[in-house]
Amino acid sequence: METTNRIRRHLSGDRDYYRSLVAIAAPITVQALISASLNLIDQAFVGGIGPGALAAVSLANSSYFVLAIFLFGVSSGVSVFVAQYWGKRDLEGVRRAAGLGLLLSLGLSLAFMAVTLAFPSALMRIFTDDPTVVDLGASFLLRIAPSYPLTAISFLFYGAMRSTEHARAPLLSTMVALGLNTALNYILIHGLLGFPKMGVVGSATATLVARVVELGITLWIVYGRRLPAAVRLRDVFVVKKEFFFETMRVSLPVMANEGFWVLGTTVYPAIYARMGTDVADALGVFSAIDRLAFVFAIGIGNATAALVGKQIGAGRRDLAYRYGGLSMVIAPITGLAVGALVFLARPLAMVLFGVSGAVRDNAMLLVALGAATLFLKSFSVASIVGVLRGGGDTLVAMLLDTVPMYVLSIPLALYGGLVLHWPLWAVYLAATSDELLKLVTSLARFLSKRWIHDLVNRREDAPAPAAIPEGTPSES
């Protein structure tokens, strides 16, 4: 009873935290939900086109997911500085950090676009040997690749806006993009309103057009409202050497973290794809649903990073520790609740995707397992992405996030799935076994308080904070 009362007091003792968390996390969650829906719509509309179409779009979107992970790494690393500069109200520092992030994001996305345009079939063969799936997926990639730089710019601005407590601003652009993508998918895939029937290429075209409109609205919001994230050309192309190396010292572990993580996660779809086409199609259904369910963890994790970084930048270390602890309790509780809803909604999801037979059975199983383990993944995001990264402890965060994957879950899933030919449920549990190890190690790191690093106040060359313009009030 005493333990229960202590937990209740811990959770209910800070209204400012909850108000700030909801103000930042809610828009992030809604935006992530809409963004994830773009890929879900692609897959839902192509589900009835023909054999292999769903697997092709799902696996091709896995290629985009690789880029998104790297962009998230850049954005997360830079956002550590953006949030701490925002905590001390240093507008020049905010824009300088965001400008460097924009330069890095564009470079990555252009390189990724070039590789995708040059080797679309080779990229698909990483995931599957099915010639039909490879051909369809390659056609999808060729049409959607030009959207990568557009996505990179939007991604960076979204991260900077979240870290400066303007998380509601990106909602308009993502909502318009979702509506446009939905309408164009329906029209172009099936050849309505005088357009030719384009199949999976129509789905990719719809997403490309939606990304163009999304970026246009984002730039209009950022520069029209003169938000702190309104980067100038000199912030992008004129970078002081000392600031560059200090930012890269913190950001590189995040980018390496996301790089190692995404390379590791590409192993899992490859394992499932080699377990049969039915399993590959089921994975496409599961991946879309899992990404939707995961948006709540993303919202809490990103909001925690912004709140923790702001408090550290303002010199309030104890409050940063308290906020981090609250998020590490709330995130798994939210994961349990969302997981329960996902589990109950499984039959409806199968109807939405129009799957049946072995594909339906496998998808039902994967969704159930994903729902049951969502609370563990939610804790990892809150502790590693939210608390440790928000506190500037990016190198340790990288080690805690990637080492368990490479020494435990990947070898176990590979051996069980391809050598011992375990059933699907056993392979999935093997692939998620690293989450238990992450829980223990990240909790220990949090309790040590050694993750709290003041990155901006310790710099001797930091300029005096610039005045915050009247048009940039905090949304919290």
List the domain boundaries for the chain. Answer: 12-448
Find all residues with CB under 8 Å of 17, minimum gap 6, and list them: 307, 322, 323, 326
* Residue 426: predicted pLDDT: 92
Distance CA(295)–CA(34), nearest Å, equals 9
Longest CA pairwise span in the chain (Å): 69
Which among 160, 181, 173 is positioned nearest to 219, based on CA atoms?
173
Q: For the ranges 37-51, 327-341, 342-356, which has the lowest average pLDDT?
A: 37-51
Separation in Å, CA 347 to CA 269, 324, 327, 361: 23, 36, 32, 10
Cα 36 off chain centre by:
9
Q: Does the structure show a pLDDT above 60 at 82?
A: yes
Q: Which residues contact 305 (CB under 8 A, 6 or more apart)?
A: 76, 79, 80, 83, 163, 385, 386, 387, 389, 390
Residue 255 scores a pLDDT above 50: yes
pLDDT for 126-169, tens place per residue? 877 778 788 888 888 888 899 999 988 988 888 888 788 777 77
Asked if pLDDT for residue 285 goes beyond 70, the answer is yes
Instruction: Decide: 64 and 144 in contact? Cβ < 8 Å.
Output: yes
Distance of CA 426 to the CA centre of its chain: 26
Q: Report yes or no on whether pTM surpasses 0.95.
A: no
Residue 149 near residue 113 (C-beta atoms within 8 A): yes
Q: Give Cα separations from 17 to 14, 210, 235, 294 (angstroms).
A: 5, 35, 32, 22
Burial of residue 242, with CB atoms counted within 10 A of its CB: 0-12 exposed, 13-18 middle, 19 or more buried: exposed
What confidence score (pLDDT) does residue 327 get? 93
172-205 tens-digit pLDDT: 787 888 788 888 878 887 778 878 777 778 888 8
pLDDT in tens, 25-40: 887 787 777 766 665 6
Q: In the predicted model, is pLDDT for residue 16 greater than 90?
A: no
Contacting residues for 235 by C-beta, under 8 A, at least 6 apart: 95, 96, 98, 99, 100
* Lowest mean pLDDT, pick from 1-10, 59-68, 245-254, 423-432: 1-10
In whole numbers, what is the pLDDT of the chain averaged over residues? Answer: 81
Q: What is the C-alpha separation between 268 and 413, in angstroms, rounded?
A: 8
pLDDT-based confidence at 467, cuts 50/70/90?
very low
Going by C-alpha positions, the residue among 55, 46, 50, 42 that lies closest to residue 127 is 55
pLDDT at site 246: 75
C-beta separation of 332 from 374 below 8 A: no
Whole-number Å distance between alpha carbons of 151 and 163: 18
Give the type of residue at 396.
V
pLDDT band at 369 (very low <50, low <70, confident <90, very high): very high
**Residue by residue, what is the 3-state secondary structure of the chain?**
CHHHHHHHHHHHCCHHHHHHHHHHHHHHHHHHHHHHHHHHHHHHHHCCCCCCHHHHHHHHHHHHHHHHHHHHHHHHHHHHHHHHHHHCCCHHHHHHHHHHHHHHHHHHHHHHHHHHHHCHHHHHHCCCCCHHHHHHHHHHHHHHCCHHHHHHHHHHHHHHHHHCCCCCCCHHHHHHHHHHHHHHHHHHHHCCCCCCCCCHHHHHHHHHHHHHHHHHHHHHHHHHCCCCCCCCHHHHHCCCHHHHHHHHHHHHHHHHHHHHHHHHHCHHHHHHHCCCHHHHHHHHHHHHHHHHHCHHHHHHHHHHHHHHHHHHHCCCHHHHHHHHHHHHHHHHHHHHHHHHHHHHCHHHHHHHHCCCHHHHHHHHHHHHHHHHHHHHHHHHHHHHHHHHHHCCCHHHHHHHHHHHHHHHHHHHHHHHHHHCCCCHHHHHHHHCCHHHHHHHHHHHHHHHCCCCCCCCCCCCCCCCCCCCCCCCCCCC
Condensed to tens digits (0 to 9), the pLDDT of residues 204-250 reads 888 889 889 989 998 998 888 888 877 877 777 666 777 777 777 87
pLDDT given for residue 457 in this prediction:
65
